[in-house]
Amino acid sequence: MAAKINLNEVTITELSNIIKSKTFSIKEIVSEYLEQINSFDKGCNGLNSIVEINSDVIEIAEELDGQNKENTGFLYGVPILLKDNINTADCLHTSAGSLALADSSPETDAEIVKILRKKGAVILGKTNMTEFANYMTKGMPNGYSSKGGIVKSPYVLGGNPAGSSTGSGVAVGANLCMAAFGTDTSGSIISPGLNNGIVGYRPGKGNLSIKGIIPISFTLDMVGPMTRTVKDAIIIFNEISANKIHFTENTNLKGTIIGIDQSAIDNMSQEEEKKANGIIDKLKKAGAILKPIHLKPIPNKKMDSIKKYEFKYAMNQYLDELPPNYKIKNLKDIIEFNNTHKEETLRYGQILLEDAQNNTSGEMMESTYLDTLKDIESTKRYIKDQLKDVNVCIVFKDHPIVQYTGLPAITVPCGLYNNGMPLGINIIAQTDEDLLNTAYAIEQIAGRRVKPGFIGF
């Protein structure tokens, strides 16, 4: 009987070595992930994290197996899932979870997908997500879309897997892929990173292209990898970004100045505060110098203003780049499609879509919007001053100052809460290099990923 590969918790480095040594073929690796998906993601009791499998994936794996693997990079043959708002010019569709765009097949790959293919990564499929990245209505559950249904937590039955990159977070946490990509406008990588016991990495603004991704806001949107370890996130970033970081694998935190967002601790439950203090104690014992930081809140109305006034323009621009014969031409067409198919599409309404369509010019000249852009620039100066004396700052949960100013952020899993849901911390910094190197060291000292037990599945 042929040996069976165990892909649970395998890292990119380990998988790359397996591929280069020909211990297992890429086809065997892909087939094992497909078996995992069939066992744990599909059916009425499945996680429902993956909305579509690439029907050409076995053929792609066989083609890669037939090539010389000796001088390939870390991503060669690595199966990766993409959030369903990231364009692929293949048999897969790109819909952002919307039935209005369910049959949309873009003519070109998103920029990051072009690079992934060039590196030999295997696009395994598309992940389910909160519809339109949670910019459709108010009150829509995390991970719900009219196209894909609801994504379930792999940790606790009925638990919140968070959104909007819900399927990407769940699939990585449940070992259904090597890594996945999500997008983040207001916490959509960070929150599912925290809630699925994984590393969710939102690079600093501009380090990865968002071209070819169904948008909300070109000011706030960012794309990034979701992995099980910080090192895997670093490897992916260095493989696909022009702005590579120098990574040393140094785990020595002695003398490292780490900011602690005191405002976050002040608003924690008793259990959260106890666990946060446990993490802080480990960092102190490792020689880190901890400095209290008080990050000012970013009012929801400011974030909402950016999204509201940019969404109509950005969405219409995206739709204009689809094939000329595609039936949906603009945001108005999406709204009308939904109104024509209310039973299937409007379970939770489309308040935000209608607000953007009816109450903005689509030209981004409103004074409220322009004033908010000015506030972003002043907030960038503020956060630069706040973080000038620290290597990184631990903010624990998602903080909108990350998206508002374009800072890089990353989550590190640190065990479980008493209810069985993952515990993690969110770390921010001024540069990706400081963030990733320090996050790696923090992970070695205070991190603890616990893989899900699939209770109830």
Residues involved in catalysis: 83, 164, 188
Q: State how far the Cα of 320 lies from the Cα of 326, in Å rounded to an integer.
A: 9
Q: Collapse the DSSP code of 176 into the 3-class scheme (helix H, G, I; strand E, B; otherwise coil) and give the result.
A: coil
Q: State how far the Cα of 230 lies from the Cα of 13, in Å rounded to an integer.
A: 12
Single-letter code of the amino acid located at 325? N
403, two tokens: 């998206």
Q: Which residues of 368-392 are buried (b: 16+ CB within 10 A; e: fewer)?
A: ebeebeebbeebeeebeebbeebbb
Q: State how far the Cα of 184 lies from the Cα of 172, in Å rounded to an integer.
A: 16
Main-chain dihedrals φ then ψ at residue 40, nearest 5 degrees = -115, -15
Cβ neighbour number for residue 72 with a 10 Å cutoff: 16
Query: What separation, in Å, do the N-terminal and C-terminal C-alpha atoms of the chain show?
Result: 29
- 416 to each of 195, 275, 410, 424, how far by Cα in Å? 10, 10, 18, 8
Enter the DSSP assignment of 212.
Answer: T
What strands lie across the sheet with 289-293, from one edge to the other?
A: 50-53, 122-127, 79-83, 179-184, 222-227, 199-202, 409-416, 422-428, 392-394, 257-261, 289-293
Single-letter code of the amino acid located at 74? F
Q: State how far the Cα of 169 lies from the Cα of 48, in Å rounded to an integer.
A: 12
Using a 10 angstrom Cβ sphere, with 0-12 exposed, 13-18 middle and 19 or more buried, the burial of residue 358 is exposed
- The H or E element spanning position 311 is helix 300-320
